Structure 1
């Protein structure tokens, strides 16, 4: 499957994107962790984030494949534009006030909304990767594992570090997505 150097390049690209998307879960997890969180909630939230980081890009990839069949050659530019816009959005969100983004993580609805909110970005990236005909299983597993793992790190680190680290983490994730969008264009 990944026997060629192009296959390894795709693997590295997917892993870097998975980490970039996980930065959102990481940064917001730090904020929630600073409010105080039990280990059981860390596990529940992280599993939900991992689940949504699998489902959302999967839906996005199917959408991207459909859009790709409609747009043809324009697909590459549309996909790259989506990455640049999504990265810019993540950077702008990192500089906004954080308190309005906080959701009560102790309720099931709060956990569900938080998990979905940090996973929505992976839908857009899934659309982009669907247009590029990316490896489906590799992509969704990498996104799910990175999303869950980085949320665990963020939630646990949030109990010990300042909020500013979380904001910079989300900005870094956005910068990575912009870089890939521009790289694919040129």
Structure 2
């Protein structure tokens, strides 16, 4: 998998966390950069860890489906992309726009885990393509750190609108990358 594809995947994987961060930033009166960077680090760590877990699961199954690995990667990316597009087209729920004040660390951790499930599925797909999982996980974690930090800082001004559009874009990127993986394998380029 190319470096550019990994960068695109990393930012696509971080869009749901970005949407949460925008909503969180919108609920804060005056978000501080130190709070934003701590939250970004938490989300980035979790988002970087989960693809490695998915990859370990995928490596265990790789021998069973080696002939169809490119179809598995394409299918996972297609499903994740369509899911993100579907979520991006939904109207925000009432409680999505206003999170309770004084939200505890554990609630943020649970939110980080919830937004990283797609990264675990992505890691599963990584087991079936030529990718350095440590490099990919680091890129996903760093992209999420940046996107969540920016989301919190921009949230007050931008509101949830940009978060939903980010999910749409992220979903489209995943579908394009999945299509490129399938194309490379079918044409014998990889």
TM-score between the two structures when normalised by the length of structure 2: 0.86
| Residue number among 146, 150, 161 corresponding to 1:149 in the alignment | 146
- In the alignment, does 2:72 pair up with 1:72? no
Alpha-carbon separation, structure 2, partners of 1:185 and 1:133? 13
Alpha-carbon separation, structure 2, partners of 1:58 and 1:31? 28
Q: Where in structure 1 are there 5+ consecutive unaligned residues?
A: 1-8
Structure 1: which 4+ aligned runs deviate by more than 3 Å?
37-41, 100-105
Alpha-carbon separation, structure 1, partners of 2:123 and 2:37? 25
Deviations 1:44-72 (A, max 9, x none): 32111111111100111112222221112
- In the alignment, does 2:48 pair up with 1:51? no
Instruction: Give the structure 2 partner of residue 12 of structure 1.
Output: 4
SS class of match (2:158) = coil
Aligned length, in residue pairs: 178
1:29–1:151 Cα contact (<8 Å) kept? yes
Alpha-carbon separation, structure 1, partners of 2:112 and 2:92? 16
| Residue number among 6, 15, 29 corresponding to 2:21 in the alignment | 29
1:45–1:115 Cα contact (<8 Å) kept? no
Alpha-carbon separation, structure 1, partners of 2:176 and 2:54? 20
Which 10-residue stretch deviates more, 64-73 or 35-44? 35-44
SS class of match (2:157) = coil
Alpha-carbon separation, structure 1, partners of 2:109 and 2:74? 30
Q: Where in structure 2 are there 5+ consecutive unaligned residues?
A: 184-190
Instruction: Give the structure 2 partner of residue 172 of structure 1.
Output: 169
SS class of match (1:160) = helix
1:46–1:152 Cα contact (<8 Å) kept? yes
- Pairwise CA distance, 1:74: 1.1
Deviations 1:145-181 (A, max 9, x none): 0011111011111021132111101110011001111
- Pairwise CA distance, 1:38: 4.4
Deviations 1:57-112 (A, max 9, x none): 01111122222211121111011100000000011111223235465472112111
1:56–1:119 Cα contact (<8 Å) kept? yes
Aligned-CA RMSD value: 1.7
| Residue number among 113, 119, 124 corresponding to 2:121 in the alignment | 124
2:32–2:153 Cα contact (<8 Å) kept? no
TM-score between the two structures when normalised by the length of structure 1: 0.88
Alpha-carbon separation, structure 1, partners of 2:19 and 2:49? 21
2:23–2:96 Cα contact (<8 Å) kept? no
Instruction: Give the structure 2 partner of residue 87 of structure 1.
Output: 81
